[in-house]
Amino acid sequence: MRPVLSRAIPALLGVAALVGGAHAVAAESDRLLPNLALPTLGGSQLWADLAVDGGWRVQRHVWTGHARLLDGDNVRRAWGSKAACLAALRDHGKAVEGHGRPVVVVLHGLWRTRRSMSSLAASFRGAGYEVIDVTYPSARASIKEHAAQVAGILDRLSGSDREVSFVTHSLGALVTRQLLARERDAWRGRHRVHRAVFIAPPNRGARLAEIGRKVPLLPWIYGEPMRQIAGGFARELAGPGIPFATIAGGCGDGEGWNPLIPGDDDGVVAVAETRLRGAAGELVVRRLHTTIMKDPAAIDAAVEFIQRGVFPASGAAATGTAPAAPKRSR
């Protein structure tokens, strides 16, 4: 077995070096490289969207720097340099209809992907919006870097004088608040910022992040954003400066799901930690942090607020509190 391993390990390292070298060449090239239309997972912690148009997107690998063009089914249609892939997306975009529709930017949370927001994104598409559901490497860069990435996507948004709203989960709210503090970005002069809905946002930080940053390996796993949330970054951010509302998860019993978090909570963020001065609405639904963005009442409330600036007049979301849960021993 040892002789086999002694030959296999160098071979694997050689293959890895070859692949890494090919990707580095692709990043520096000014053209597209030969491509096989391969299915992908659509990107996760190692890919960052550079542009999104009609469900197609250009992504950059955070380590190698090479880019790829994915279609709406996450099939790789091209790869090579950033410039070449962006040009290919522009060519595709010329055939895309609906460039005048209002836009909803959808941002997932820490260590999640845009797939976690698929139900919410589908509801907004059904309501007539163009959805830009962003993939960003949430644990691999700071909140300011994520905001700069989203700004780059919006700088490439087609048309002019389009209405741009934001619907986010968890960390996505802080990325949006940081983004909206960047008033000199090119897209701000071409389009109109409309409204925002923050779902389970750590607007005042998160007690659980403060606990987690003291646990070995967790700060490395969850990256700079976890350290920022624990260190008071959220409390230092300015408000969004546009009409916004928050949707929190909780039990409705004043105690919440997690005994480590004071008050009602969704297992990760306390209801009190989601609140932000100036909110036009504050709702609580009986959901955990990891699933709240799939909750029908939360989705309906988000769509209603982006459309009309108010929450629905009936249902659990309209009450502003979660249905009461049985008391639990701690």
pLDDT digit string, tens, across residues 286-316: 999 999 999 999 999 999 999 999 998 744 4
- The pTM of this model reads 0.87
Q: 167, 247 in Cβ contact below 8 A?
A: no
Evaluated on CA atoms 110, 115, 119, 125, the torsion sign reads: positive
SS3 content of the chain, % helix, strand, coil (to 5): 40, 20, 40
Tokens of 20: 């890494």
Rounded to the nearest 10 degrees, how much is the dihedral formed by the CA atoms of 97, 75, 106, 101? 0
**∠ CA 207-213-214 to the nearest 5 degrees?**
105
Upper half-sphere CA count for residue 81 (Cβ side, 13 Å): 8
The alpha carbon of residue 222 and the mean position of all alpha carbons in its chain are separated, in whole angstroms, by: 15
First to last CA, the chain: 52
pLDDT value at residue 327: 43
Identify the sign of the CA torsion 20, 23, 29, 34: positive
Assigned token pair, 277? 């001065």
H-state helical runs in the chain: 2-28, 82-93, 118-126, 143-155, 171-180, 186-190, 207-212, 218-230, 233-236, 271-274, 296-308, 316-319
DSSP conformation class of 32:
B
Structure token digits, residue 85:
């892939």
DSSP assignments along 50-91, one per residue: EEEETTEEEEEETTT--EEEE-TT-BEEEEE-HHHHHHHHHH
> What is the full per-residue pLDDT of the chain (330 aa) written as tens digits?
445 445 444 444 343 333 444 444 455 556 899 999 999 999 988 999 999 999 999 999 999 999 999 999 999 999 999 999 999 999 987 656 556 899 999 999 999 999 999 999 999 999 999 999 999 999 999 999 999 999 999 999 999 999 999 999 999 999 999 999 999 999 999 999 999 999 999 999 999 999 999 999 999 999 999 999 998 899 999 999 999 999 999 998 888 999 999 999 999 999 999 999 999 999 999 999 999 999 999 999 999 999 999 998 744 434 444 544 444 443
Domains in the chain (CATH in brackets) are: 98-319 (3.40.50.1820)
CA dist 113 and 275 (Å) reads 24
pLDDT of residue 9: 44
The greatest distance separating any two alpha carbons of the chain, rounded to the nearest whole angstrom, comes to 72
CA angle 299, 53, 292 (to 5 degrees): 20
Phi then psi dihedrals of residue 39, to 5 deg:
-70, 145
Is 192 buried (19+), middle (13-18) or exposed (0-12) by CB count in 10 A?
A: middle
How many residues appear in the chain? 330
Find tokens 């050689």 and name the residue: 14
